[in-house]
Amino acid sequence: MNISVVIPLFNEEESLPELHAWIKRVMDQNGYTYEIIFVDDGSKDKSWQVIETLSKENPCVKAIKFRRNYGKSPALHVGFEEAQGDVVITMDADLQDSPDEIPELYQMIIRDGNDLVSGWKQKRFDNAITKNLPSKLYNWTNRKISGIQLHDMNCGLKSYRREVIKSIEVYGEMHRFIPVLAKNAGFSKITEKPVQHQARKYGVSKFGWNRFINGFLDLMTITFLSKFGKRPMHFFGLIGTIMFFVGFGVAFYLGCSKLYHVFNHLPARLITQRPSFYISLTTMILGSMMFLAGFLGELILRNSPVRNHYLLEKKINL
């Protein structure tokens, strides 16, 4: 199979028929073998009924429905698990991503040998203050921290070599950082393609301002896990050891100073009356706690058997 199109959605009943027809037309024109995997993230409208109708009309339509709303990352995760195409393309269901981009996204993987191609919405039709400006700042921060030179890392329109999506785990809200996950998994051929961005035709945006705060925190998480996820002692142990010896050094100095004054019959304050003593004591305690955190982290190694456990209600053609 040439292409798997994975489409997470939440309350998008109006746009689904038009999106399906658009994708089908592009696939038929280019002679691709394909599958469309809709992942209904607990929609409360008639999105699932629309998908059921589409699956009867087109056997290439497959679908998964969550019992409740989990978020985009879990939706992508289960979609990636089911995808069988040589190239996997993701796009949003709100018609802001153009299926006409699919052929070139496919060729950039097959012909050019890229592992991941991310869309770049150079001209956006979103609100300039509430979305465009924060998005530019957000992507600039991502580039500086991750080292991946993408202008629009959070663009929903992306294409992947199948090996990429089978090698990464998308959980929490990590869909914003799939290129970072791919890079950490050893896939270095990551590039971008300017894509057409369209104004939303139906419904309203499902994302608010909190996505920027959560996104920054997730970036910190993924940066830390990528460097120290399998060796937490290298981070916590190092910091803890430094803090402990700094505190111990200060306490040792205070003790030696006290003894010097006592043996030379010089006036001296009690050690417990000196603020530096309590600072050194606190530093040693915190250093010990950090070292212990690193040791426990080595035992746990962040392996959770239920990280990607979701309640699936229905499937179609899977």
pLDDT digits (tens, 9 = 90+) for 57-70: 999 999 999 999 99
pLDDT of 313 > 70? The answer is: no
pLDDT of res. 13: 94
pLDDT number for residue 194 = 92
Q: What is the pLDDT of residue 304?
A: 55
Average pLDDT over residues 217-245: 78
CB 65 within 8 A of CB 312: yes
Pairwise CA distance, residues 134 & 299, whole Å: 39
Torsion sign over Cα 4, 8, 11, 14:
negative
Reported as a single tens digit per residue, the pLDDT across 80-96 is 999 999 999 999 999 99
**3-state secondary structure string, the chain?**
CCEEEEEEECCCCCCHHHHHHHHHHHHHHHCCCEEEEEEECCCCCCHHHHHHHHHHHCCCEEEEEECCCCCHHHHHHHHHHHCCCCEEEECCCCCCECHHHHHHHHHHHHCCCCCEEEEECCCCCCCHHHHHHHHHHHHHHHHHHHCCCCCCCCCCCEEEEHHHHCCCCCCCCHHHHHHHHHHHCCCCCEEEEECCECCCCCCCCCCCCHHHHHHHHHHHHHHHHHHHCCCCHHHHHHHHHHHHHHHHHHHHHHHHHHHHHHHCCCCCCCHHHCHHHHHHHHHHHHHHHHHHHHHHHHHHCCCCCCCCCCCEEEEECC
pLDDT band at 308 (very low <50, low <70, confident <90, very high): low
- Considering only residues 104 and 296, tell me which one the structure prediction assigns the higher pLDDT: 104
Give the model's pLDDT for residue 293: 87
The pLDDT > 90 percentage for the chain reads 52
**Yes or no: is domain 3-228+307-316 CATH 3.80.10.10?**
no
Which residues on neighbouring strands pair with residue 97, listed in sequence order?
197
Q: What is the pLDDT of residue 44?
A: 93
pLDDT, mean over the chain: 85
CA distance 156 to 97: 8
Q: What is the pLDDT of residue 16?
A: 96
**pTM assigned to the model:** 0.71
